[in-house]
Structure 1
Amino acid sequence: MNKKRLSWVDVTKGFLMILVVIGHYPGQLDFPLAKYIYWFHMPAFFILSGLFFKPVVEKGLMKLSIQKRFMQLIVPYLFFLVSITLIRYGIEIGSGNMDLSWYVNDLWTLAVGGRFARGAYGVFWFVTTLFFTYLFFLWMTKYFSRTKQIIILAIFYSIAHFESLFAMRVIGGSPDTASQTIPMIWNIDVALMAVVYFSLGYYMKSIWMNVSKRWLTAGLIGSVTAVLLDNFNVIDYHLSMKFLRYEHFVLDLIIPLSFTLVLVGVFQLIATQLSLKWLQKIEKHSLTIMYLHIFTDILLNDYFTYGIIGFTAFGLVIPIVVSIIIQKLIPHGKLLLGGFSQKRPLPIQQ
């Protein structure tokens, strides 16, 4: 991929990260912005991740590929999990909380993770889900033909919707409460849904790399139609991957795909005219922003009063500063933030 193509990817991911921060604003928004953000922003991340997937075809490289992804995803996950927890526990002890059972229960919740980890850990589910999504797709592309891959994906997609239907309709109640009645460590079950979006990034790579006017128009039609139907109460569409809320077998593909086509297509056009380096900067520090933007608000909201703009600004700027400090001052700081590169083994000489 050339630099021009990489620039629009970075810009798109940077914009998506801003939407992640806005989507976690704890206050009430006048416009149903959060609802529409959730329609596509997490599927878009999985789609763009699938865009860069490379199947493992050479013998002996499967283990190395898994190790690389583990270092890039799970090591930062554990680093931020431990760091935030130590700060939280320091605050709890300082405020007089000496209840051992509280700490044991909290540690158990953090070990299970996924949709059960709330508050400061509200976004941690994405990384573990992405890791297992990668493992699923790596396994599929290694051992099965394209036809069999699609059949497996169809089965996964169906199982995911059945699980959601069971949680939302049979168990009932709010999505977060209903989904937590289904035990699962690290939201591995969400990978059944995520791998479908991931595969769309991989299978449709030629389309994503240069979204044509035809595809951009199709995405616009799908997106605008969905918003209009929702505004006129023809549909009441919701999507929350974390809490297993994907209730529409068809729209769960059409709506996220439509919005992602528009987003990618628009930023490809913009990237030809503007550099948008500020969005690239956000993408560069996106991992730290993702982990720390909620925790930043938790630490600051007792001392500052701010609305959505302040929340977003703090949620972006402070994690970026922390990211820079970690990389500059902490030994192996880049490694802790997922900056792991792996040398390919030399071919065996015959």
Structure 2
Amino acid sequence: MIEQGQTAAATLEPITSGKRSNIVDLVKGLAIILVVYGHTAQGAEHRGWWTGPGMAISENFIYSFHMPAFFFVSGLFVLGSIRRRGAGDFILDKVKTILYPYLLFAVISATLGPAIGRFQVSYSPFHWKTFLMNVADGSVSWFLFTLFFCLLVALLTARLPNWLRFLLAVVVAISPAYGSYIMNRVQWEFCFVAAGMWVGNQIFQLERVPKWMAAIGFVLVAAFQFAATYFYGYPNRWTFIGLGLTGTAALLLLARVLENHRVGVALVWVGRASLAIFLLSAFAQGATRAVLSSLFHTNNLWLQLLLPTAFATVLPAIVWYQQDRWRLGWLFHWPF
């Protein structure tokens, strides 16, 4: 139950649930900014505003770890959540906080499609059959749908030893892809959830690591990550697990360095609103891009990268923290 005086924004854990950790929230803040930036950069590329090797290097580096980091932190407190809630309430909670916003925003996006389609690089007219098939296979918003099923797999494997769960997840992940799109996504991403489950509450030991040591570790791991993606390109079937975990480790070390710093405090603020940013960023991003192009008549790359990324991060976060005052909680979780 929510104690009197607490807001939904203060008590709901976006995307994952469990004991509150500033370091974990900070990692989510860093990762969601990279998600928004990655989508902004892809929009610039599709419009021909950013071409050349710089785009590929940026994309390969970011996409080697920013989504694995989300799956990893989503697994950290899963076992504790299952023990507290029990299987039935655990599933119900994930339906309300993950599957519900996935379905809701699929409907919202389809409804707004005709109005915002002219601002998109490509737009396909609405067809019920296509819409329902996209919803069913997770392609409307693959992350939330994949996360939901990964957490169900976590529930089914909760009694396994942590090392065995992770080993099986790795074997499945590097096996040839099969089945539907969503099955393949779960096949590839569950290993990061399993890694988070293995670490669990030990993540709090990171708070004891001296910041100077964390800074050195971050520089070394980040340099390795950049070199690996620079020389070998986008992670493949055999390298994506290792690079996903090393990139996540770099984010965790950076989070420790920034913890309690004013920059870190701001990133914690962003991280706690990560669900709202994930769901709403595309609208704020597209609106900012349209204003820059139509009103200010500029396609300057830096403006088109930085301003849409900034507005698509901050505006949804404001909505998250004002959801009670503005009666918008139903956007992010089942209202009943």
> Does TM, scored on the shorter chain, surpass 0.5?
yes
1:238 corresponds in structure 2 to: 234
- Determine if contact 1:128/1:188 at 8 Å carries over to the other structure: no
The alignment of Structure 1 onto Structure 2 pairs a total of residues equal to 290
String of CA shifts for 1:286-335, please: whole Å, max 9, x gaps: 212112222333344333234111111221233234445654333xx325
String of CA shifts for 1:219-273, please: whole Å, max 9, x gaps: 6544423423544x3xx2314xxxxxx422xx32322222221211221132144
2:106 corresponds in structure 1 to: 81
Normalization by structure 1: what TM-score?
Answer: 0.70
Amino acid corresponding to residue 247 of structure 1 in structure 2: R
**1:262 aligns to 2:258 (yes or no):** no
1:66 corresponds in structure 2 to: 91
Gap change, CA 1:47 and 1:147, over 3 Å in 2 = closer
SS at match of 1:204: helix
SS at match of 2:149: helix
Q: Taking every aligned residue pair, what percent have the same amino acid on both sides?
A: 20
String of CA shifts for 1:124-156, please: whole Å, max 9, x gaps: 2101111110110110113x3446534532432
- Alignment partners' CA distance in 1, 2:83 and 2:28: 30
**1:43 aligns to 2:72 (yes or no):** no
2:150 corresponds in structure 1 to: 133
How do 1:89-104 residues align onto structure 2 when only pairs under 5 Å count?
89=114, 102-104=126-128
2:203 alignment partner, one of 182, 204, 208: 208
- Determine if contact 1:293/1:319 at 8 Å carries over to the other structure: yes
How do 1:242-321 residues align onto structure 2 when only pairs under 5 Å count?
246-248=236-238, 251-274=239-262, 276-305=264-293, 306-321=303-318
Instruction: Pick which of 39-48 and 259-268 moved more.
Output: 259-268
- Determine if contact 1:50/1:202 at 8 Å carries over to the other structure: yes
Tell me by how many angstroms 1:337 deviates: 1.1
Unaligned runs of 5+ in 1: 94-98, 118-123, 164-181, 240-245, 342-350
**1:197 aligns to 2:221 (yes or no):** no
Tell me by how many angstroms 1:336 deviates: 3.5
SS at match of 1:276: helix
- Determine if contact 1:55/1:141 at 8 Å carries over to the other structure: no
- Alignment partners' CA distance in 1, 2:228 and 2:126: 46
SS at match of 2:25: helix
2:173 corresponds in structure 1 to: 157
Gap change, CA 1:6 and 1:301, over 3 Å in 2 = same
Gap change, CA 1:19 and 1:58, over 3 Å in 2 = closer
Amino acid corresponding to residue 194 of structure 1 in structure 2: E
Gap change, CA 1:202 and 1:40, over 3 Å in 2 = same
What is the alpha-carbon root mean square deviation over aligned residues? 3.4
- Alignment partners' CA distance in 1, 2:322 and 2:280: 14
- Alignment partners' CA distance in 2, 1:287 and 1:60: 22
- Alignment partners' CA distance in 2, 1:15 and 1:111: 28
SS at match of 1:329: coil
- Alignment partners' CA distance in 1, 2:31 and 2:281: 14
1:174 corresponds in structure 2 to: none
- Determine if contact 2:166/2:191 at 8 Å carries over to the other structure: no
- Alignment partners' CA distance in 1, 2:84 and 2:203: 29
- Determine if contact 1:208/1:264 at 8 Å carries over to the other structure: no
Tell me by how many angstroms 1:281 deviates: 2.2
1:224 corresponds in structure 2 to: 223
Quick check: which has more Rg, 1 or 2?
1
